[in-house]
Amino acid sequence: MENLLKDEETDSPLGVQERLLAAGAAEFVRHGFQGGSISAIVKEADCNVRMVYHYFGNKLGLYRACIERVYAHLRDAEANAGFWMAPPAEAISELVRFTFEYMLDHPEFQGLMRIENMTEGMHVREVNSVSDRAARLFQKINTVLDQGVSDGSFRHRPDAGALYLSILGLCTIHITNRHTMSVVMGLDLAAPDFLDGRREDVVRIILASLRQ
């Protein structure tokens, strides 16, 4: 095995970990936790198998780190977005557009969530940062909703988590059901024109629900 793998002596720890996380996420999305191969992961990451155990303890530790990483990336991107200080209707519109585009651009997030849902969330329950970071997102959404009700932009004041669930569902159903619904609808649900129209439809649906 040693002669097939790269010597990490001159490689930075951050570089090795990031490669392992990226390779691990891709492998687990394809094959699930049980089917994911450590050998395939270290080959793709171009590192020594010892590095998995050094940084993550074992295969399960790497898998949970992959889950934490995809959630952290999403939550960081949301937190750093520039729309939170915009007027309420604009802020919600941009949150929808952000979520729509993020899900298109990061299939690894939905892939790992699909795997986790197949195991009834067995491992994500053990990653405390997932719920902690979500709470901070919901706090931001609550602030926008309160402002919207206060200035008359919104007449309906939903729970922040329930609103985000609606946004996430509307922003992903055309991805998770792309192949079957493309046949049913006679459309290419991955076509840019369809996606542009779909994104703005979702914005209108969410705003209408708040303005009813």
Number of domains, the chain: 2
Instruction: Give the contacts of 21 (CB within 8 A, at least 6 positions apart).
Output: 62, 65, 66, 69
User: In this structure, are 129 and 199 located in the same domain?
Assistant: yes
pLDDT at 3: 34
* Tokens representing residue 5 in the block: 């793998």
pLDDT at 11: 56
> Over 50: is that where the pLDDT of 27 sits?
yes
User: In this structure, are 74 and 17 located in the same domain?
Assistant: no
For the segment 161-181, the average pLDDT, to the nearest whole number, is: 95
Look at residue 128 and give its three-state secondary structure: helix
63: in domain: no
The answer to whether residues 96 and 206 touch, using CB atoms and an 8 Å cutoff, is yes
The answer to whether residues 36 and 68 touch, using CB atoms and an 8 Å cutoff, is no
Cα 48 to chain centroid, rounded: 28
For the segment 86-113, the average pLDDT, to the nearest whole number, is: 96
User: In this structure, are 72 and 140 located in the same domain?
Assistant: yes
Instruction: Give the contacts of 74 (CB within 8 A, at least 6 positions apart).
Output: 102, 106, 109
pTM of the entire predicted model: 0.87
Q: What's the rounded Cα separation, in Å, for the pair 194 and 188? A: 7
* Tokens representing residue 153 in the block: 């932009």
For the segment 195-212, the average pLDDT, to the nearest whole number, is: 97
Structural domain boundaries, residue 33: 1-57
pLDDT at 121: 83
Look at residue 155 and give its three-state secondary structure: coil
pLDDT at 122: 81
Tens of pLDDT, residue by residue over 39-88, are: 999 999 999 899 999 999 999 999 999 999 999 999 999 999 999 999 99
22: in domain: yes
pLDDT at 126: 84
The region of weakest confidence among 30-44, 114-128, 192-206 is 114-128
> Over 90: is that where the pLDDT of 12 sits?
no
User: In this structure, are 39 and 107 located in the same domain?
Assistant: no
Strand runs (DSSP E) across the chain, as ranges? Answer: none
> Over 60: is that where the pLDDT of 120 sits?
yes
